[in-house]
Structure 1
Amino acid sequence: MPRLEWSEALSLDLPLMDDTHREFVDLLAAVEAAADDAVIPAWRALIDHTQQHFDQEDRWMRETRFAAGNCHSVQHKVVLDVMREGLKRAEGGELELLRMMVGELAQWFPQHAQSMDAGLALHMRRCAHDPATGAVLNPQALPAGEISGCGSVACTPETAAPAA
């Protein structure tokens, strides 16, 4: 059984985000199950998906007034950098490193999804952001200034509250 499996606990009630997250979980499980000769291609597929996944969320944040350097986007960059470094080292023969990284990502992802991504999903619903088109159907619910935190309740400064 994979270390991380999709469950309703990971669902954020935003279908496009949930579908992307479900794919991440499936690709992570594929890396975990891969034989040694298939682990690097499976890891590359995970990196490709994760790049698109994070680019999509970063675009949604920009469309709904998150600051460019917010901690959610910064975490995306750091995770991708670490995944790419793992690929380089695995290509140099350190396959076991990828196996360890699967375990770390399996621990990291639920926390990220249930905090940072949940905050983003809530924010997107409040301002009626259409993730497919980028349209904001309730612009009066957008924050007056850019959100510099992650979007979760614990991290977002009061100054980023929706405009009245």
Structure 2
Amino acid sequence: MNTVEWSESLLLDFPPMDEVHHTFVDLLALAQTAPDETLPQAWSAVIDHTVRHFGSEDEWMKRTRFAAADNHIMQHKVVLNVMREGLALARAGNMAAVREMAGELAAWFAKHTQTLDAALALHMRSVQSEVPVRRTHRTSAHPASAP
């Protein structure tokens, strides 16, 4: 299984995005190592964070008329839908499927960050003086206290 771990290769030099990505990695890592009895809650914490994470990026793209927004936003929607299906599987007791999904999500996230998000971060740095960006704050990655 692909595991997720924060590394310098995920840094995009755009702090609002880097912070939310670091929290995502922390939460996904917790889900990947969660025992079966807490996996549904850990996976739910990943989803809750991802809804806000993708929502912020989608808002930035729309507000700044980012050229590649349509494809990027569509990827976000598809991934969130699959993650929600995973939560239903976890609640039904199919932990193996959710663990496989978590590994695939880890691999997807690394590629997504280094391609689509890297382009968005470059764009956001270029327009940051024109468009104020609300900074997100890193929160605890513990599922019980995750935002």
Give yes or no for TM over 0.5: yes
CA contact 1:62–1:68 (8 Å) conserved in 2: no
Q: Is the 8 A contact 2:66 2:120 kept in 1?
A: no
Aligned residues: 132
Amino acid across the alignment from 1:131: V
Q: More relative contact order in 1 or in 2 (CA 8 Å, sep 6+)?
A: 2
Residue 139 of structure 1 is matched in structure 2 by: none
Identify the residue that residue 111 of structure 2 maps to in structure 1: 111
Aligned-partner Cα distance in 1 for 2:92–2:26: 26
User: Which structure has the larger Rg over C-alpha atoms?
Assistant: 1
Q: Which amino acid aligns with 1:101?
A: M
Gaps of 5+ in 2: 136-147
State the Cα deviation string for residues 3-58 of structure 1 (Å, max 9, x = none).
11111110000111001000000000000111110000000000000000000000
State the TM-score, normalized to the length of structure 1: 0.76
Tell me by how many angstroms 1:89 deviates: 1.6
Q: Which residue of 2 aligns with 1:80?
A: 80
Sequence identity (%): 53
Q: TM-score, normalised by structure 2?
A: 0.85
Residue 125 of structure 2 aligns with an amino acid whose one-letter code is R
**Which ranges of 4 or more aligned residues in structure 1 deviate by more than 4 Å?**
none
Task: Report the counterpart of residue 132 of structure 2 in structure 1.
Answer: 130
| Structure 1 gap ranges (5+) | 134-164
The residue that corresponds to 1:17 in the other structure is: 17
Contact between 1:28 and 1:46, CA under 8 Å: does it hold in 2? yes
Residue 13 to residue 67, structure 1, CA distance change in 2 (3 Å) = closer
